[in-house]
Structure 1
Amino acid sequence: MNKYVTAEAIQRYAVVSKDSAAIHIDNEAATRAGYKRPIAHGMYIMGLAQSLYLADHPKQWITEYDMKFQKPLLVDTFAIFDFKSSDCNIEVTVTAETGDVIASGSFSVKELEQ
């Protein structure tokens, strides 16, 4: 599943999360830190992975999660979310459009009671 991560979305996330670190929203600060442009928040990527998974599985609920971040995701980039399930465990890998693995982890899920 592909998702285009925009600078606008990251700016909105910075406001609601109260994490307005300059590397996420300012081109000059990101460049000084060694990035071509601002980078997405790790928690934004993790939350997006959970939201995308749950949108396709509305009768499930995430009970636990774990995610490790390998590389930053530049804003205005496609992120590819790959989910593999085994019973109640969902493995997720997030890859940038460049092919670099950004993050990987897992969710534990359970069925919602009716």
Structure 2
Amino acid sequence: MMKKFITAEAIRQYAAASQDLAAIHLDEDAAAEVGFKRPIAHGMYLMGLAQSLYLAEHRAQWITRYELKFHQPIEVDNVVIFDFVEDDCAVKVILTTEAGDVIASGAFSVKEV
């Protein structure tokens, strides 16, 4: 299990790099218009972060396939808990809030490099 604090600055950097400048990710007023207190993290940012965190701890592995289903968004300035359950060549991935709400779930297929 790994925890990561999702900052507004990290989301701004991801938005610039990905060119996904949707206001819901960057602007508090736009987020408030759809019912959020703060902007929300990009789903692809969370997916990439999950892969990076896993591979940082498993340097001899390579991700060959992945899928992640998003259940709810996460607002910036919150902690995301990344839980990885390994089972041979598959890794189950669950992202939750500190309160235990599931943000996303899925799996990686991995191989040794």
TM-score between both structures, scaled by the size of structure 2: 0.98
Q: CA deviation at 1:98?
A: 2.6
1:96 is the counterpart of 2:97: yes
Give the superposed CA RMSD.
0.5
Q: CA deviation at 1:44?
A: 0.4
Q: CA deviation at 1:91?
A: 0.1
Deviation sequence 1:74-99 (CA, Å, 0-9, x none):
10100000000000100000001232
Q: Which runs of 5+ in 1 are unaligned?
A: none
Aligned partner of 2:42: which letter? H
Q: CA deviation at 1:33?
A: 1.1
2:70 corresponds to = 69
Q: CA–CA distance in 2 between the matches of 1:41 and 1:98? A: 20
- Residue 99 of structure 1: SS of its match in structure 2? coil
Q: Percent of pairs identical after alignment?
A: 62
TM-score between both structures, scaled by the size of structure 1: 0.97
Aligned partner of 2:22: which letter? A
Equivalences for residues 1-114 of structure 1 within 5 A:
1-112=2-113
Count of aligned positions: 112
- Residue 103 of structure 2: SS of its match in structure 1? strand
Q: Which runs of 5+ in 2 are unaligned?
A: none
Q: CA–CA distance in 1 between the matches of 2:100 and 2:88? A: 28
